[in-house]
Amino acid sequence: MKNKKYYYLFCILIFTIFTVSVINSFDKEDTIQTSSFLESLDSKKIEWGIKRNDNHKQPDLGSLNKKIIDEQEGIAIGNSESKKVYLTFDEGYEAGYTEKILEVLKQNEVKATFFITGHYINSKPELVKKMIEEGHIIGNHTVNHKSMPSLNEEQIKKEVMDLHTAVYEKFGYEMKYIRPPKGEYSQKSVAYCNTLRI
C-alpha cells in the first residue's frame, strides 16, 4: 500500500474575484499528528466578506485571514501586478442565468469556476455536465451550504466528501477546491478540509 496514490482535496476559499486556494498534501503517517494538530487550532468563526471600495485597490484581507491562508498554502488575492481576474460563481440553486453565463464565457473563450451544492447537482446535473465539458472548474460548496464552524469534523467530512463523491461518480470529475458556505470558516475548519481525501 506504500505506493497507493492519494487524491488530495484542495481547499479553496474564493471571495468574488479573489481566490483562496488551500493546497496541501499529507502522508499517511501524518494522520496521528494531524488530529492533535487540529485540536490545537482555533475554532472561532470568521466571517469574511469584501469591503467594497472605489479606489481600484484590492480589499484588505486582514492579518488573521492572511495567517490562516498562508498556513494552509492558500491563495486569497491575486497578484495586483498581473492584470488577471478570477471569475467564480456560487451555484446554490439555479436562478436561470447559468446557461447564458456559459454561453458568454464560451463566446469569449474564458474559463471560470463554479462552486456547486448538493441541491445544484441534483436539480441541474445537465448544467454541471456542460460546465465540465466546456473546461470550467467545478468547486465544492458542500452538500447543504452550512456554516462550517458550526459543524463537527464528522459533519464537515460528510458535507464535503458526499458532494465530492457524487460529482466523481456522476461525471468522473474530481473537485479540488472548496469554498466555505456563507464565507464562514475557522482556522480549524480550513485545516480540517485540507486533510480530506478519498
DSSP H stretches of helix in the chain: 31-39, 63-71, 98-107, 118-123, 125-133, 153-171, 187-193
Distance CA 94, CA 128 (A): 11
Cβ 90 to Zn ion shortest distance, Å: 4
- Report which residue's Cβ sits closest to Zn ion: 90
Cβ 80 to Zn ion shortest distance, Å: 26
Query: CA gyration radius for the chain?
Result: 17
Cβ 169 to Zn ion shortest distance, Å: 23
Number of other residues whose CB lies within 10 A of the CB of residue 145: 18
Nearer to Zn ion, 15 or 192 (CB): 15
Nearer to Zn ion, 58 or 147 (CB): 147
Instruction: State the Cα angle at 22 between 87 and 45, rounded to 5°.
Output: 95
Cβ 87 to Zn ion shortest distance, Å: 16
Cβ 70 to Zn ion shortest distance, Å: 24
Nearer to Zn ion, 13 or 166 (CB): 13
Residues that bind Zn ion (CB under 5 A): 90
Nearer to Zn ion, 74 or 139 (CB): 139
| Phi, psi of 127, rounded to the nearest 5 degrees | -75, -35
Nearer to Zn ion, 90 or 159 (CB): 90
Q: Are 21 and 177 in contact (CB under 8 A)?
A: yes
From the list 76, 100, 69, 89, the residue with the least C-alpha distance to 190 is 69
- Which residues lie closer than 8 Å to 179 by C-beta, 6 or more apart? 12, 13, 14, 88, 90, 115, 139, 140, 141
Q: How many CA atoms lie within 13 A of 105 on its CB side?
A: 22
Nearer to Zn ion, 65 or 142 (CB): 142
Cβ 49 to Zn ion shortest distance, Å: 12
